[in-house]
Structure 1
Amino acid sequence: MSGAIETARTRFERSFGASPDGVAFAPGRVNLIGDHVDYNDGLVLPMPLALGTAVAWKRREDELLDVRASDYGDEVSRFHPGEEPPVQDGWHSLVHGMAQLLHEEGLVGGGLDLLIAGDLPRGSGLSSSASLCIAIGRALLEAAGAMGYSPTRLAQIAQQVEHRFAGVACGIMDQMVVAAGKEGKAMLLDCRSLEWRQVGLPKDWSVIVVQSGVTRELVDGAYNSRRTDCEAAAEALGVASLRDVDPAGVDYSALGETQALRARHVVSEIERTRQAAAAIDDRDLERLGSLLRDAHASMRDLFEASHPQVDAQVDWLNEIIGAQGGARMTGGGFGGSIVLFCEASEADRVVGEIDRDGKPLHGFGEVTIRAHN
């Protein structure tokens, strides 16, 4: 269980002088394979983490929300949920946006004191923003007694908040796995139909998430420009989205150079994700490792969303893992985290190579997460 839950409870009591009525939690996520295909209606394979965001809450007598963010210097935001949220104002925009959209659905029925605490490393590409949105949403729903609210609808609202108030034209992957994923399982999600199935991971495999040490930032426009490239490529190819492209019959000659690169990544990544889920079902770790290596090369060379330091780290990790497993950059790119698979019997050795005597090597960040076994 995430330590954020107890931290939120303790800090709530310190900040508000009373015990909370409840504590809501939402995990972070690591995407095993399938990056930048969710907004192209593709297939993705994320899984939730044990780390995440907790929101302690207590009802108050007025109609205001009094929100304290303990991870951001105890910053405070007080507002009525019916007010228009600020745009691109960090965590304030996300929290206020979730409150307003749920208020529009009649699901914020009174004032609340709220305290946010999380244990996801910042800038790590592990979906701290989706985790925050879903945790806030769950706290508001718990306070309203709406425990049966659809996780799919909650994910869609969180995505709208990212679009409207954070300025990030993200797909639905992060919000869906945070809202509906199961601990210890991957989620094979069809981002067009929003149908999914849980994919159980073998007990003798390990999934490890390593911070690259390169802080990831999406709101500088790089993410949104990649989405624009993909939409232009789909239009030029005469399809609704790149999900509809036939990998065997596509002719990229109608595209400009940049559009062709982006489209080639998306089309091949959707197929790799399908094959990766099958490799897990078949317990074929060597095949999965090969797909992870190919996915990283595609993000580096075709989508141009990697970073030289991360590329060097991924190459080094793949060398020490060997054929039974593999590593790749994960998330939106431009830094963040690396995900790797290896045999569970090898996990201690691999982690020991990354972090010797408590000191990360090769520029890695301080936090290494055992996401599975």
Structure 2
Amino acid sequence: MKFGYNETCLDHDTGPRHPETADRLRAIREGLKKRHGVEYVDADPATESEVMRVHEDDYVQEVKEFCASGGGNWDPDTVACEETWDAALASAGLSQWAARTALDGDDGRNTPFALGRPPGHHAVFDDAMGFCYFNNAAVAAQTVIEEGGAERVAIFDWDVHHGNGTQDIFYDRGDVFYASVHEDGLYPGTGELDETGEGDGELTTFNAPLSAGSGDADYQYVVESGLGPVLDEFDPDLLIVSAGFDAHRYDPISRMRVSTEGYAILTDAVRTLAEENDAALAFVLEGGYGLDTLSEGVATVHETFDGRRPMDPEEDLDEETVEMVDDLLDRFGLDSA
């Protein structure tokens, strides 16, 4: 794979006990050292005006001034330092690079993956939250739409937390589809089944809140049997994966049971969805807070594109997951298999 990477993202200092640290990127790089076919690409940072396409102007200016004054705690979870401003623009720029590169034809072993931080999917139109300042995937989607590279963009979020920011930014838009599979009841407490969009965005939001303890088979079923038919109806030009790795069974802040092999299964499933829709495919890093499981997860995504075939899930599918997918398909006016 091609990995977008910028050293500036290491300068975002969240303090000694914060889970979202620069060591996350260092661990990913270390985990990729002995993998075949890894390529790193730098990219220009996003501009203020590009970020303002999905965020309120006054909010962006407030973040800039907050960082310039030395930063601190924006809220109890979301920390900034002076360098956070440049890191956030660099992270958004890497996501733009991934989207543009995918639309330019890079796929297969050259599929782009943006390794930026701070992450983005909790950042709403006018506020930072959940470790996130600028919504990287949203900036990327809006950029390629305005540049004419894509008319319709889908964002699939497999982070264990619901990407409330991405959903909110595009909730009434018909040209961006947002889908999330996440742990039910976990921070930020959004992403219910009945949140399906409004106005022009009616039926362009797909939420699959899984019960704590769900594993590989449940995630695979949601993507293949639930998201697949719905995404076929939307017919995107580009599929962006908001790729968090905190649903891993050994991640310290979630209760899900996805294995490292599960991320290979997910990768293969979204690659198939992109191929079936003739859509470009790009990945954007979100969460993942166990350094070993994060680095293994990213490496597994890479190895799947490098030719490694994923193994079938070991555990059984939960009947609750089947019922939830049937409910979702009914909400979207589709028949279950």
Query: Normalising to structure 2: TM-score of the pair?
Result: 0.30
Give 1 or 2: higher strand fraction: 1
Query: Normalising to structure 1: TM-score of the pair?
Result: 0.28
Structure whose CA Rg is larger: 1
